């Protein structure tokens, strides 16, 4: 049975992906920093697939990544899928006002962590002969967004890294793709994002949500389940010929 590491999966997009994978019988390793949230998520995932486990780790720290990967391999004996979802909210400062340490933290959490996770997991994916990597990107890499320079730089880096990895790993039958979601105002990270952006633009949070929804081509936000289904498709046999792609799953907030 396939084994998937899903970072940042105690809630939101990562949790939705873990649920979809567990429903399909994939053994999931869910991950997060908040132990209380992680334990709650683990119970629900185990109800779908009792073989799934949770490992607490901060994937911006190399030693935590080493522990996460080693414990997964020791427990299951293999790793087939890596979903890089963990990230921090990177909005709220103009370039002029942004403290350098804030820039560094956002790059560390949203780009460096993806590089480190891929670096640690790739040797194990090669062993399977058909590995999958999916990186969760961000709209700031596609659409200009004031007060989000560090996030835009990090997420653009993730998209470039995705294409480079696809070029490097294709001969090992490992596919590498990115999913670019839109806005999920119901999630914790979505609420924080909206609050900070609304504050930067001096508009009420609810007004920001309405304005963002109006910019989508479908006049709605994508659901977490739609993102999860896309991830599942890319990791299935049906997605075996898709690699090096940055897929918009955002109801048309980005179209290229």
Domain membership of residue 207 (yes or no) is no
Q: For 127-174, what is each residue's pLDDT tens digit? A: 999 999 999 999 989 988 888 899 999 999 999 999 999 999 999 999
Q: Looking at the domain assignment, is residue 86 inside a domain?
A: yes
Where would I find the H helices in 4-61?
Answer: 12-23, 35-48
Q: Could you tell me the pLDDT band of residue 222, with boundaries at 50, 70 and 90?
A: very high
H-assigned helices in the chain: 12-23, 35-48, 62-76, 100-107, 113-128, 149-169, 188-201, 205-215, 224-235
Size of the chain, expressed as the number of residues it contains: 256
Give, in order, the Cα–Cα distances in Å from 33 to each of 46, 59, 86, 133.
Answer: 19, 9, 10, 21
Above 90 in pLDDT, residue 38?
yes
pTM for this predicted structure: 0.95
CA distances in angstroms from 156 to 50, 103, 142, 144, 168, listed in the order given: 37, 14, 8, 11, 19
User: 199 pLDDT exceeds 90?
Assistant: no
pLDDT computed for residue 254 by the predictor: 94
The C-alpha atoms of residue 151 and residue 8 are separated, in whole angstroms, by 17
Residue-wise pLDDT for 42-96, tens only, equals 999 999 999 999 999 999 999 999 999 999 999 999 999 999 999 998 788 899 9
Distance of alpha carbon 40 from alpha carbon 251, whole angstroms: 30
Q: Is residue 210 part of a domain?
A: no
Return the structure tokens found at 164.
């480079």
Summarize the confidence of residues 104-125 as an average pLDDT: 98
Q: Which residue has the tokens 């990090």?
A: 154
> Residue 193's pLDDT is what?
78
| In-domain check, residue 120 | yes
CATH of the domain at 151: 3.40.50.720
How many other C-beta atoms can be found within 10 angstroms of the C-beta atom of residue 212? 17
Compute the distance between CA of residue 86 and CA of residue 32 in angstroms, rounded to an integer.
Answer: 8
Report if residue 206 sits inside a domain: no
The answer as to whether 232 is a domain residue is yes
- pLDDT above 90 covers what percent of the chain? 82
> Per the structure, how many domains does the chain have?
1
- pLDDT at residue 190 in the model: 83
Q: Considering the domain boundaries, does residue 217 fall inside one?
A: no
Position 122 pLDDT exceeds 90: yes
Range of the domain at 144: 3-183+222-249
CA distances from 213 to 5, 120, 251 (A): 32, 38, 9
Has residue 209 been placed in a domain? Answer: no
């Amino acid at each position: 049975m396939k084994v998937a590491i899903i970072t940042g999966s105690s809630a939101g997009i990562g949790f939705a992906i873990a649920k979809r994978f567990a429903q399909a019988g994939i053994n999931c390793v869910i991950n997060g920093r908040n132990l209380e949230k992680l334990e709650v998520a683990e119970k629900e995932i185990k109800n779908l697939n009792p073989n799934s486990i949770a490992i607490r780790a901060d994937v911006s720290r190399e030693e935590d990544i080493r522990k996460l990967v080693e414990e997964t391999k020791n427990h299951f004996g293999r790793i087939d899928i890596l979903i890089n979802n963990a990230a921090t909210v990177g909005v709220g400062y103009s370039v002029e006002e942004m403290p350098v340490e804030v820039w560094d933290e956002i790059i560390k959490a949203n780009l460096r962590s993806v590089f480190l996770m891929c670096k640690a997991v790739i040797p194990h994916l090669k062993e399977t002969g058909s590995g999958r990597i999916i990186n969760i990107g961000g709209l700031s890499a596609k659409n200009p967004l004031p007060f989000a320079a560090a996030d835009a730089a990090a997420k653009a880096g993730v998209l470039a890294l995705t294409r480079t990895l696809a070029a490097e790993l294709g001969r090992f039958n490992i596919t590498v793709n990115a999913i670019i979601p839109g806005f999920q105002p119901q999630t914790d990270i979505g609420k924080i994002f909206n609050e900070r952006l609304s504050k930067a633009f001096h508009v009420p949070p609810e007004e920001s949500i309405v304005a963002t929804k109006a910019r989508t081509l479908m006049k709605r936000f994508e659901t977490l389940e739609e993102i999860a289904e896309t991830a599942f498709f890319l990791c299935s046999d049906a997605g075996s010929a898709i690699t090096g792609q940055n897929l918009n799953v955002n109801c048309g907030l980005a179209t290229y």
